[in-house]
A and B are shown apart, each in its own frame.
Chain A
Amino acid sequence: MDAILLQTLNGLDKGSAYALIALGLTLIFGTLGVVNFAHGALFMVGAFCAVTVSRLLTLSYTVIDETRTDFLGNPMKVDMPYLKSWLGETVGGTIIDWSVPLAILFTIPVMLVLGYAMERGLIKHFYKRPHADQILVTFGLAIVLQELIKHYFGANPIPTPAPPMLTGSFDFGALVGMDPNQVIYPYWRLVYFLFSAAIIGAVFAFLQFTTFGMVVRAGMADRETVGLLGINIDRRFTIMFGIAAAVAGLAGTMYAPIISPNYHMGMDFLVLSFVVVVVGGMGSLPGAVLAGFLLGVLESFSSMNEIKNILPGIDQIIIYLVAIVILLTRPRGLMGRKGVMEE
């Protein structure tokens, strides 16, 4: 029982990342009809937004600390972040510690602008081209983004810690009345899950309860008619592209403490997220979210030793296996709509 609970929890954080990326992919596909292979790269750029913010906040100058000496007996040189010297040890230190959550404020505008520019500059010209061309050009863009990041941040993963308050683990089992020390869960993963649940909720609420969202939904159903009603649907779709980019970026920013950002993390997630989208059903937002969590949890279950002993290697291939089975038995995925991307 506790093993099941533990694996479910473990699957949730990865599932959240899949769900967020898949949600963005589906938004773009559902609105613009574009298959965006650069979405994983946007996730990666989001993670590097966290790195950038934490670097900016720790910009330092060197001071000589008279109280300590190095091994030669000279006074030690210490890096002093500007923030600490301006705002004092406690306030400045706290801000630096909370750099990852603070990076959200930085990520949102950056990703909105990046998404907007991407749509206007590149994707716009590919609406009428075949899906194969869209895949290819966004694949090229993903390589470009990835290499730019590699050029400026290097090829090695950059550890980006969560705030110290949230780095530890807590005993989830004891909280729900089970034996203590059976289900230990890191705080940050819980934070990540709650965060992504909030983002997903916000996106759905935005689409469901605002006029803007209503128009976008109408446009997804029948773009031409909405256009004939005198609504500039293209502009709204462009904004949706920006929002989808921001969702991917936020997913990446908050994921930075879980996996140290490296330049190819986007591609690793993209492949899986595409599988998630297809399993969920092309064009279905709830399908993408559901499939994201489902596959995340499945992946974590299959890495249990009990299961690995029966079927060795299953943890490596479970997602692909599920995808193959679903694609062959349910052509539209779990919740796909009729008439979307069918051959």
Chain B
Amino acid sequence: MLGLEKKDATLLLVVIALALAAPILLNPFPTESAMAQFNAGYPDLMQKFAIYGIFAIGFNILFGLTGYLSFGHAAFLGVGSYSAVWMFKLLSMNVIPALVLAVLVSSLFALVIGYISLRRSGIYFSILTLAFAQMSFNLAYSVLTPITNGETGLQLSLDDPRILGISQTADGGIPLTSLFGLAMRDSVAVKLGGWSFEFSVGYYVCAILMLVCFYLAMRIFRSPFGLMLRAVKTNQTRLNYTGLNSRPYTLAAFVISGMYAGLAGGLLAAMDPLAGAERMQWTASGEVVLMTILGGAGTLFGPVLGAGFIKYFENIFSKINDSVLQNWFGFLPDGVENVVLWVVEHFVGPGWHLTLGLLFMLVVIFLPGGLMEGGQRIAGLLRGKRKSGGDGGGDDPEYHPGQTPHVAE
């Protein structure tokens, strides 16, 4: 199917099914129940899953395949957002031209930055990309204020030209972003017993784009081009000795992943038409690194999983506050309860980043392959048990795959 092997086709179908049914799957608890706070099936959050999924898939094409660790990918996200908002200001509120421009501009940026940064590898490459991203961030805050609107961030206003659209709606408001008349904010709520599912246009636009990106990434992974990128990761020196110039390949990978980031940035702006410089800060670059590693760098589905995982827990953990905790642990004796509360409150609410940091460290230390490797090990463990033991050596849960030498060495 679609030029994929059977295994990949199955994975793609599963991902398509998951993405299309997400508004239902992510709302497993009835709206009135106490567990409703764990529901993730509302448009804002699901859009983030899809958008950061795209961002991470793109980052993975660079990091997962070539081993080049870029610490400046957020620059492309920010550039994408700015170009999309400008398109909304100047042309029309249709998202298509905005997304096209976002991808084009970010690919140009990636081409320039990649061309320079890829002259070096390893930690020097990381520092170079970081330097470029920080430069973009600082300039967006200061000198480029006419383009970026500095600290306030770029926003739509009532007197924007919007040549192909309208400057303001009949009742004097700013028009909404839309896809040929379908506003991104539009949604259909379906009530079913105690459950309520919300199907929003914005989410489905993001999800379909994410699926397209996922499919393209799959094709890249399985292509001769993808093999070449893996060869770069495994041993670039040897590759060069065979007479191949690896730089066009790495540059292509860099530009592709920059385009993915630009698309994600454009989508962020399409869902909520404003763009701020903080999207380009290096913490944002760090976030996508976290997502990719947490999910499993170099795997197809890992980055999406990591992005969803981080965004979900970011939302849920930061919502848990003292009263919720007291509800949960109220059954414990007072003394024990206080101790438990004291420990737990470090990790929830505003302390969510602490949880993230710890989790990330644990993953890097014990599961270099990320959540995907964890899943495989558990699956292997279960299969091993079913196999009546004896030859379980191959399924040893303590088995660590040998380190693939990174370019960074």
Contact = CB atoms under 8 A, between A and B. Distances in A.
Interface in A100-151: 122, 125, 128-133, 135-137, 139-144, 146-148, 150-151
A312 interface: yes
Contact of A271 (B134, B144, B354): B134
A130 B403 CA distance: 8
Given A135-B69, A141-B361, A316 B353 contact: no
Contacts of A137: 361, 364-365
Secondary structure class of chain B's binding surface, majority of residues = helix
A140 B408 contact: no
Given A140-B364, A147-B357, A321-B135, A327 B127 contact: yes
Nearest to A331: B120
Given A131-B408, A151-B351, A274 B127 contact: yes
A328 B409 CA distance: 19
A316 B138 contact: yes
Interface in B48-85: 67, 69
A282 B144 CA distance: 33
Given A131-B123, A132-B69, A317-B135, A151 B346 contact: yes
Contact of B409 (A122, A130, A147, A312): A130
A320 interface: yes
A299 to B, nearest CB: 12
B143 A271 contact: no
B127 A316 contact: no
B73 to A, nearest CB: 15
B365 A141 contact: no
B358 interface: yes
B116 A328 contact: yes
Given A135-B126, A141-B357, A144-B354, A324 B116 contact: yes
A130 B408 contact: yes
Given A125-B365, A143-B353, A324 B289 contact: no
Interface in A71-106: none
A131 B409 CA distance: 6
A262 to B, nearest CB: 14
Interface residues of A, number: 42
Interface residues of B, number: 48
Contacts of B351: 147, 151
Nearest to A144: B357
A131 B120 CA distance: 15
A137 B130 CA distance: 18
A139 B286 contact: yes
A275 interface: yes
Interface in A276-316: 278, 282, 312-313, 316
A278 B127 contact: yes
B199 to A, nearest CB: 36
A323 interface: yes
A267 to B, nearest CB: 8
A66 interface: no
A162 interface: no
A312 B283 CA distance: 26
B127 A140 contact: no
B131 A320 contact: yes
A148 B360 CA distance: 15
B123 A35 contact: yes
B78 to A, nearest CB: 15
Interface string A25-47: 00000000001000000000000
B259 to A, nearest CB: 23
B354 A151 contact: yes
A70 interface: no
B197 to A, nearest CB: 35
Interface of A: 35, 122, 125, 128-133, 135-137, 139-144, 146-148, 150-151, 267, 271, 274-275, 278, 282, 312-313, 316-317, 320-321, 323-324, 327-328, 331, 341, 343
Given A327-B124, A331-B120, 8 more contacts: A122-B365, A144-B357, A147-B351, A147-B354, A148-B346, A271-B134, A323-B128, A343-B124
